[in-house]
Amino acid sequence: MLRLAKATCLLVLLLTFGSVWSATGVAFVHGTGKQTDALNDYWTTSMVNSVRQGLSDSNNYVVINCDFEQYMWDAQAAGCLAGQLHTFINQRGINDLVVLTHSNGGNVMRWIMSNPTWDSRYPQIIDRLRWVNALAPSSLGTPLADAVMAGNVFEASLGWLLGYQNDAVRMQQTSWMAHYNSNWLLGTAGRPNLPKPFWNVVGSDVHAALWNSASYCGGYQYQVGLAVTQWWLNSCSDGFLECSSQNGAGSLWFYDHWVTQSGRKLSHHQSRRDCFGLDVILRNDL
Amino acid sequence: MKTTNILIALALMSGSAFASNNIEWMPGSESDLVAGRLVSETAAIPASQHAESAPLSYTWAAGERSATEPAAQGVVVESRQYWVDVSARSLDTGVKLPISAPGAVVRISALDSGTRLQLDPGHLELSINGQSLDRSALEMSTGTEMRQEGMQVPQDSLAFRLPGDSEAGTLHLQMATGADEVPMVIHVHEPESPWVARMSTTRSTFLSDQSIEFDVLLDDGDRVFEVDQVRAMLVSPDADQMMDLSRQTNGKVLEGVVPVSAISAAPGLHEVHAYVEHNIGGATVKRDLKLAIGVAPASGRFSGDIDMLPALGLSLDLGVEVAIEGRYQVNAEIFGTNAEGEMEAMAFTQSAAVLEAGKNSIGIEIDAQMLLDSGLSAPFEVRHLQLLDQGRMFVLEHRDQALRIGPPARDIRGRSDEMIR
């Protein structure tokens, strides 16, 4: 209801001051990983092309490519994201920016929104931002990161502490995110609001049965793997993140089955793909 | 614009704006982080990594979701899992693992990357309490499959889940790997177990040379146990420094100190690792706990000086004393009094500037329009006041309730304009 009221207000403003408020743009922000072609490797062109049809000028979009294997505040992570968003809004005159993030991309965006004095580009990005639609954000971290970051400090060399994990995985351990949420990030329970809305889309299950058509959107092989990773998660999860983490900061927009076609649930892989009408929901939100 | 100015002028005349009020520090709370004095060993403090040099400020209205109570600063982690380090050779001969509930998830991994071990499910032999388990009935997953889904286990991994009707007791795990002394780790996760270990502390940030305490307990859903054995260690972000935590005589509290010399230049957090083992009725329960905390040297603090500058809104200069040059950030939430006389969040404000070592100040500001829009009036309070070091990712000071701005009140402890520490 709140979201609808805000959208109505924006529509009224848009109709009233249309010539001033006309440049809406959308940015696609990927999750953990070092991307050089996120359009094809992370989102797929069918997802991006479908969503951007909701823009009055469908060229007002940018697909971010940064190194999100780093800590969120790193110059290659938040610095890179700020650089690409800053260039996008200035080159295309965007003054109404909608940012779509997936997974850890939500944390990097939330870093920018929480620490506007970190970098002189951040305030302008926040000023132009309408809101963030956070697809399965890892706001409270994931037990999977805890599970893989371990050995025994009394019994072995500590290579495992630093060796085969990147900083983004270390950062998404649950107690690490609790620290950053309490001290550096805003929008979680008991903390001040973010300067702009951060709307969560929560994926709540994984279907991985040969006879279930929901298992095939985005690739059956991914669904099988995500069903396995659910072993380390509680009953409401998308195979990578528990629902509580996905809705741990900002505000709930919707749980997958509330609005998707036939009430389908979105796995962590499917929440970045044009599965079960998600692309249309995001398109209609622009 | 003309209307706005009239409103602001009326606000000033009515005495509801800040200018006519006194300002005073509020009493501290147990969860506050405050340095008594600054460190003198500045050589031990890593260089600042900040890139921005311009002073910046940003303020926004609190909105409808703001907390009206201080955020909980306590931290607690819980665990239904443990890890055991083994060698590939010991896997060949077999390893015994205590299991406290059915449906345990077990993962075997090489401890280091690139070992190229062949963890063949066909070579896995399992028994529980001497009864052999049919491995074809187990769900299994390889490292490749788990990595494909973003679970960054080593490539050389194999995971399986025990049946939902399996017994508690001792799992005997044997696996021929063909390797010798390759270090391995076995992770046992028991999602269905009632046995939960918990570790807690009062907050997630500490200063060097301060005592840090952690409570450790084990419960089975009905009873809380003081555990038989606890070993714990504090590890620096780069794993270069490891400090033992001592167990106090009451049995449940671990205690330690991070000296300034152990402050790491590496980004990231310190981790407390605790290993719990408890024997009950001839059975063993093992749990590992891990908790991340921030540890900073006492390299900066609010000096206690405050200047309220002439302005239509709120404009404060907060005295900041720092031991070393860097870029420092101040966060503050401003609360005001609503028509019912209750405190309500009005705005969040943040300022940052590069400061030289010594006494400085950082200003925070709420403009008059935001004050008027909020509908709130005096007394005002500054809560959740923080001093952060951006270039070193240090949390240097945090006060749940910091300043009161309003008519002098007799029920406020402490003296006006004097820092309460």
> Which of A7, A186, A220, A215 is closest to A107 using CA atoms?
A186
Q: How would residue A12 be classed by pLDDT, with cut points 50, 70 and 90?
A: low
CA distances from B79 to A266, B84, B109, B227, B255 (A): 28, 15, 20, 14, 20
Task: Choose the closest CB to A151 out of B73, B83, B291.
Answer: B83
ipTM value, please give it.
0.90
Ramachandran assignment for B116, one of left (phi > 0), alpha (psi -120 to 50 degrees), beta (any other): left
* For residue A204, pLDDT beyond 80: yes
Kindly tell me if the per-residue pLDDT of B255 is higher than 70: yes
CB B360 within 8 A of CB B322: yes
Tell me the C-alpha distance between A253 and B29, whole Å: 36
pLDDT in tens, A28-38: 999 999 999 99
pLDDT band at B41, cuts 50/70/90? confident
Q: What is the pLDDT of residue A283?
A: 98
Q: Which tokens hold the place of A176?
A: 């690490």
Ranking B111-120, B180-189, B346-355 by mean pLDDT, the lowest is: B111-120
- The answer to whether residue A62 scores a pLDDT higher than 50 is yes
Average pLDDT over residues A115-127: 98
Q: Residue B145: what pLDDT? A: 82
Beta-sheet strands, E only, within B80-168: 81-87, 95-99, 105-110, 124-128, 131-132, 139-142, 157-161
Name the strands in the sheet holding B377-389, side by side, starting at the edge strand that comes first in the sequence.
B22-25, B394-406, B377-389, B326-337, B343-355, B56-61
Q: Which of A74, A119, A189 sits opposite B52 (nearest CB)?
A: A119
- Nearest CA to B23 out of B335, B400, B416 is that of B416
Which of B58, B64, B75 shows the shortest C-beta gap to A116? B58
The shares of helix, strand and coil residues in chain B, as percent rounded to the nearest 5, are: 10, 50, 40
Can you say how many angstroms the Cα of residue B1 is from the centroid of all Cα atoms in its chain?
Answer: 46
Tokens of B405: 């701005």
Q: Which H or E run contains B285?
A: strand B283-296
The SS3 call for residue A110 is: helix
* Confidence band of B350 (pLDDT split at 50, 70, 90): very high
Q: Please report the pLDDT score of residue B252 as a whole number.
A: 67
Nearest residue of B to residue A238 by CA position?
A: B149
> pLDDT tens digits for A241-277?
999 999 999 999 999 999 998 889 999 999 999 999 9
Give, in order, the Cα–Cα distances in Å from A149 to each of A143, A161, B91, B278.
10, 7, 21, 24
Q: Which residues in chain A (51-70) have CB-CB distances under 8 A to chain B?
A: none
Q: What's at B291, amino acid-wise? A: L
Which chain B residue lies closest to A176 (C-alpha atoms)? B292
Q: Give the pairing type, strands A198-202 and A129-135.
A: parallel
Low-confidence winner among A124-133, B80-89, B144-153 (lowest mean pLDDT):
B144-153
Choose the closest CB to B205 out of A183, A226, A251: A183
What's the pLDDT score for residue B74? 79
Read off the DSSP letter of residue A33. Answer: S
pLDDT at B376 over 90: yes
pLDDT at position A5 is 64
* Environment class of B415 (CB within 10 Å of its CB; exposed 0-12, middle 13-18, buried 19+): exposed
pLDDT(A100) > 60:
yes
- Residues A183, B204: C-beta atoms closer than 8 Å: yes
Preceding amide of B379 cis, omega within 30: yes
Read off the pLDDT band of B73 (50, 70, 90): low
Q: What pLDDT was estimated at residue B66?
A: 47
Return the pLDDT at B257: 86
- pLDDT at residue number B320: 98
Residue B418 is predicted with a pLDDT of 43
Higher confidence at residue B14 or residue B248?
A: B248
pLDDT, mean of residues A19-31: 84
**Is pLDDT larger for residue B362 or for residue B116?**
B362
> Within an 8 Å CB–CB cutoff, is residue A167 touching chain B?
yes
Q: How confident is the model at residue B248 (pLDDT cuts 50, 70, 90)?
A: confident
∠ CA(B196), CA(B201), CA(B203), 5° rounding? 135
Q: Which residues partner with B54 through β-bridges?
A: none
pLDDT over 70, % of chain B: 88
Predicted local confidence at residue A10, as pLDDT:
56
Residue B153, pLDDT > 60, answer yes
Residue of A nearest to B244 (CA): A154
The shortest CB-CB distance from A147 to any of B75, B187, B292 is to B187
Tens of pLDDT, residue by residue over A207-247, are 765 556 566 676 666 666 667 888 999 999 999 999 999 99
| Nearest C-alpha in A relative to B395 | A183
Interface check for A254 against chain B (CB to CB < 8 A): the answer is no
Say whether B115 sits in a helix, a strand or coil: coil
Q: At A204, is the secondary structure helix, strand, or coil?
A: coil
Mean pLDDT to the nearest integer, A159-167: 59
Q: How confident is the model at residue A166 (pLDDT cuts 50, 70, 90)?
A: confident
Q: What is the mean pLDDT of residues B366-375?
A: 93
Report pTM.
0.90
| pLDDT of amino acid B201 | 93
How close is the nearest chain A Cα to the Cα of B45, in Å? 20
Q: What would the mean pLDDT of A41-57 be, rounded to a whole number?
A: 97
Asked whether the beta carbons of residue A240 and residue B84 sit closer than 8 angstroms, the reply is no
Identify the three-state secondary structure at position B317: strand
Q: CB of A244 within 8 Å of any CB in chain B? A: no
User: Could you tell me the pLDDT band of residue B318, with boundaries at 50, 70 and 90?
Assistant: very high
What is the band of A148 on the pLDDT scale with cuts at 50, 70, 90?
Answer: confident
Whose tokens are 């063909």? That residue is B178
User: Between chains, do A120 and B333 touch, taking CB under 8 Å as contact?
Assistant: no
CB within 8 A of B136, min separation 6: which ones? none
To the nearest whole angstrom, how far is the Cα of A184 from the nearest Cα of chain B?
A: 9
- Report the C-alpha dihedral over residues A139, A144, A149, A150, rounded to 10 degrees: 130
Query: Which one-letter DSSP state was computed for residue A149?
Result: S
Helix, strand or coil, per DSSP, at residue A147: helix
Give every CB contact of residue B75 below 8 A, 6+ residues apart in sequence.
A175, A178, A179, A182, B200, B201, B202, B203, B204, B291, B293
Alpha-carbon gap: A234 to the closest alpha carbon of chain B (Å): 8
Q: What is the 3-state secondary structure (H, E, C) of A228-281?
A: HHHHHCCCCECCCCEHHHHCCECEEEEEHHHHCHHHCCCCCCHHHCCCCCHHHH
- For the CA atoms of A148, A153, A154, A159, what is the dihedral angle to 10 degrees? 90
Residue B28 pLDDT > 60, yes or no?
Answer: yes
Q: Return the top range by mean pLDDT from A17-21, A282-286, B266-270.
A: A282-286
* Mean pLDDT, residues B317-325: 97
Q: Which amino acid is at A236?
A: C
Q: What is the mean pLDDT of residues A188-197?
A: 94
Partner residue facing A232 (CB), from B105, B185, B293 = B105
Are A190 and B112 inside 8 Å of each other by CB? no
- Cα A246 to Cα A103, A138, A180, A238: the distances in Å are 8, 6, 16, 9
pLDDT of B324 over the 50 cut: yes
For residue B377, is pLDDT > 60? yes
Both tokens assigned to B330: 């101040």
- φ, ψ of residue B208 to 5 degrees: the values are -60, 150
- From CA B316, how far away is CA B385, in angstroms rounded? 13
- pLDDT attached to residue B412: 43
pLDDT at B178 over 90: no
| pLDDT, position A151 | 58
Give dist(CA A197, CA B186) in Å, integer: 42
Q: For helices A80-91 and A105-114, give the axis angle rounded to 10 degrees.
A: 80
pLDDT at B6 over 60: no
